Amino acid sequence: MAGARAARSGRLKPLPRSFYACSPEVLARRMLGTLLVRRFDDGVTAAIRIVEAEAYLGVRDRAAHTFGGRRTARNEAMYAEPGTAYVYFTYGMHYCLNAVCGEPGEPVAVLIRAGEPVRGVERMAELRGPAARDELRLAAGPARLCQAMRIDRALNGHDLTTGEALWMTNDPDQPPPGDREVVRAARVGVDYAGPWAARRLRWLVRGSPSVSVPPRPGGGRPTRKRPPAGG
DNA sequence: ATGACGATTTACT
DNA sequence: GTAAATCGTCATA
């Protein structure tokens, strides 16, 4: 099989810049089922199949780091051309990875939240440490994903289209999920964003064991006790 | 200079 | 379910 051979031989051709030159909503959907590939300095390769991503709509999106046109040293990478990595540090201990998209200079991006390990599992487990016992959940969360793939400050601003160190590629062994296998939900951890918190800007592969927070049946709204049934 | 706060994860009750 | 970990960033002074 050409696919398996391609994966094994490392010919994981990076997706071109045109893949990223779209709105964050389109990219988040499009990204599901693709592989995020990491080549470590020692030559070891790790890869995950992306199963969860969130769109951040930029200047108008209260949940986005670039809301209101904010532009600082921290979020500068979001103003770079599509296909750039935006890696930020949060909670004093975690990193998260975004793919910048949209028009050149438009500060919109997609947060890569989770993936199923497909290659380099041993290395990823090692990087995650003792807390990660479940192989399927090594990258089930934006910060877990970064820890498993050693994605940190050094990759902020990295060009994802070069095929060096960190890039995305089509999965040679599995087609992308169809619309029936994709579900939308509210974004995670943005309760401070008012009306923007409820919008369904998170895309997931339905039923994947590797997602961070499974979507709620109702579409991701906060838990609410049902009023007493009428009868 | 200072203070509040995370696009999170883990451990614990 | 709650709380702690832990520190760079940003707004304010």
Q: Mean pLDDT throughout A17-40?
A: 98
Helices (H), A24-163: 24-31, 121-128, 142-148
The whole-number pLDDT of residue A136 equals: 97
The confidence band for A105, taking pLDDT boundaries of 50, 70 and 90, is very high
Which whole-number Å values give the CA distances from A23 to A93, A164, A203, A205, in the listed order? Answer: 30, 25, 14, 19
**Nucleotides on strand B lying under 7 Å from protein C-beta:** 5-11
The confidence band for A152, taking pLDDT boundaries of 50, 70 and 90, is very high
Nearest nucleotide, CA A213 to C1': B8
Pairing of β A45-56 and β A94-100:
unpaired
Question: What is the model's pTM?
Answer: 0.92
Q: Mean pLDDT throughout A7-23?
A: 85
Q: Are A198 and A221 in contact (CB under 8 A)?
A: yes
The whole-number pLDDT of residue A1 equals: 52
Instruction: Report whether pLDDT(A219) > 90.
Output: no
The whole-number pLDDT of residue A225 equals: 39
Q: Mean pLDDT throughout A171-180?
A: 98
The confidence band for A216, taking pLDDT boundaries of 50, 70 and 90, is confident
Nucleic strand C under 7 Å from the C-beta of A40: no
Q: Are A21 and A102 in contact (CB under 8 A)?
A: yes
Nucleic strand C under 7 Å from the C-beta of A73: yes
Distance A63 CA to C12 C1' (A): 22
**Nucleotides on strand C lying under 7 Å from protein C-beta:** 1, 5-11
Nucleic strand C under 7 Å from the C-beta of A72: yes
The residues of the protein lying within 7 Å (CB) of strand B read A 54, 56, 63-66, 78, 86, 90-94, 96, 98, 109, 111, 128, 130-132, 141-145, 188-190, 192, 212
Contacts 24+ apart (CB under 8 A), A62-69: A62/A192, A62/A193, A62/A194, A62/A195, A62/A196, A63/A187, A63/A190, A63/A192, A63/A193, A63/A196, A63/A197, A64/A107, A64/A108, A64/A109, A66/A107, A66/A108, A69/A107
The mean pLDDT of chain A is 92
Residues of chain A above pLDDT 90, percent: 86
Nucleic strand C under 7 Å from the C-beta of A9: no
Nucleic strand C under 7 Å from the C-beta of A70: yes
